[in-house]
């Protein structure tokens, strides 16, 4: 058995076990309370389902898994006439509390199935694993959420683990700056500015990309929260483009340490996917 085959089997096993864990949690709502019952933990604060990360970190000695169950992208309006359907299964962000204000994250590869239809009638079907990203999150202030604002730093590195169709084979990285502010009346605004250095489209160097997002959230009930978000990304270098989306979603907190969510990201620019619905969950141990 080749090394690539063994790696693929290991990743499939990981996602299968994660799925079984999610089903077990849904079947036994009291389980997560026991998993995270050691001492008093900070407020449950997933980074998903919006694109804006929070500045808050995981308590030391604890782990939080946040993932899509399935996400579907559709992109029909392209200059070359290509139409794309893409489904992404299980894209977990594994957040590990290291110190009181620091966590280490592993964003594991997701399994992707993509269909491309060309204007002339040709059709291509691709499938494979995406890249992996490792990052740290450092809270600079406001981790206890007792104040009005909070600020963090998220340095990250992308590892080129993807199949050829889903990656460029390059190491890339950058830093994100998440900020949160309580506006009163249970409204909360989160923003994130991210500077990344990415391999350019022709593969002869690296160019900076800048992204910014704003997410406004509010409770819709005792255990239900909703958000609306604007996201923009300006790419540079050859084939530079601007990606802009309007994002909407809700989170339902099943237990103090487990939530499910769903939403849709709507493309506002030609470079963005037209529509991207998704469902997912977060669990804290």
pLDDT in tens, 203-226: 778 899 999 999 999 999 999 999
For the CA atoms of 195, 201, 204, 207, the dihedral, rounded to the nearest 10 degrees, stands at: -20
Separation in Å, CA 209 to CA 31, 80, 166: 42, 24, 19
Least confident of 17-26, 83-92, 160-169, 207-216: 17-26
User: Which DSSP category does 223 fall into?
Assistant: S
Distance CA 72, CA 265 (A): 10
**pLDDT cut 70: percent of the chain above it:** 83
The whole-number average pLDDT for the span 38-64 is: 92
Domains detected in the chain = 3-284 (2.40.160.40)
The whole-number average pLDDT for the span 22-44 is: 56
Distance CA 205, CA 237 (A): 9
Most confident among 15-24, 156-165, 261-270 (mean pLDDT): 261-270
159 membership: H or E segment, kind and range:
strand 149-159
Q: Would the pLDDT of 117 be above 80?
A: no
Q: What are phi and psi of 170, to 5 degrees?
A: -120, 150
H helices present in the chain, as ranges: 3-27, 31-35
When comparing pLDDT for 231 and 160, which is higher? 231
- Helix (H/G/I), strand (E/B), else coil: 78: coil
pLDDT band at 141 (very low <50, low <70, confident <90, very high): very high
Residue 235 near residue 246 (C-beta atoms within 8 A): no
The whole-number average pLDDT for the span 163-184 is: 88
Distance CA 256, CA 96 (A): 18
Q: Would the pLDDT of 9 be above 60?
A: no
pLDDT band at 16 (very low <50, low <70, confident <90, very high): low
Q: CB count, 10 Å around CB of 71?
A: 22
The whole-number average pLDDT for the span 50-71 is: 96
Predicted local confidence at residue 165, as pLDDT: 65
**pLDDT cut 90: percent of the chain above it:** 58
Instruction: State the Rg of the chain over Cα.
Output: 19
Please classify residue 53 by burial: count the beta carbons closer than 10 Å to its beta carbon, then call 0-12 exposed, 13-18 middle and 19+ buried: buried
Predicted local confidence at residue 130, as pLDDT: 85
Supply the mean pLDDT for the chain. 85
Distance CA 63, CA 96 (A): 5
Nearest residue to 192 (alpha-carbon basis) of 68, 56, 51: 51
pLDDT band at 275 (very low <50, low <70, confident <90, very high): very high
For the CA atoms of 162, 164, 167, 168, the dihedral, rounded to the nearest 10 degrees, stands at: 130
Least confident of 73-77, 106-110, 177-181, 248-252: 73-77
Predicted local confidence at residue 12, as pLDDT: 56
Least confident of 60-64, 78-82, 125-129, 267-271: 78-82
pLDDT band at 80 (very low <50, low <70, confident <90, very high): low
Q: Would the pLDDT of 90 be above 60?
A: yes
The whole-number average pLDDT for the span 82-93 is: 86
Q: Would the pLDDT of 31 be above 50?
A: no
């Amino acid at each position: 058995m080749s090394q690539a085959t063994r790696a693929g089997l290991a990743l499939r096993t990981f996602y299968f076990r994660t799925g079984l864990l999610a089903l077990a949690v849904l079947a036994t709502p009291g389980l997560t309370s026991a998993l995270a019952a050691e001492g008093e933990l900070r407020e449950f604060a997933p980074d998903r389902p919006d694109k804006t990360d929070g500045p808050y970190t995981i308590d030391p000695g604890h782990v939080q898994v946040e993932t899509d169950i399935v996400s579907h992208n559709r992109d029909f309006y392209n200059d070359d006439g290509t139409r794309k359907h893409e489904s992404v299964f299980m894209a977990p962000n594994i957040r590990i509390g290291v110190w009181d204000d620091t966590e280490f994250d592993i964003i594991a590869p997701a399994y992707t199935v993509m269909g491309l239809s060309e204007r002339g009638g040709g059709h291509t079907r691709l499938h494979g694993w995406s890249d992996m990203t490792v990052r740290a999150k450092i809270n600079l202030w406001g981790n206890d959420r007792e104040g009005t604002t909070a600020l963090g730093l998220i340095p990250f590195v992308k590892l080129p683990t993807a199949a050829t169709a889903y990656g460029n084979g390059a190491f890339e990285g950058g830093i994100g700056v998440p900020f949160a502010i309580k506006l009163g009346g249970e409204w909360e605004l989160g923003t994130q500015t991210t500077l990344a250095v990415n391999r350019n489209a022709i593969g002869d160097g690296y160019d900076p990309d800048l992204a910014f997002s704003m997410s406004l959230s509010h409770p819709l009930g005792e255990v239900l929260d909703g958000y609306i978000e604007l996201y923009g990304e300006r790419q540079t270098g050859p084939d530079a483009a601007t990606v802009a989306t309007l994002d909407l979603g809700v989170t339902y907190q099943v237990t103090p340490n487990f939530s499910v969510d769903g939403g849709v990201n709507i493309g506002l620019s030609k470079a963005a996917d037209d529509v991207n619905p998704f469902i997912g969950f977060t669990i804290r141990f």
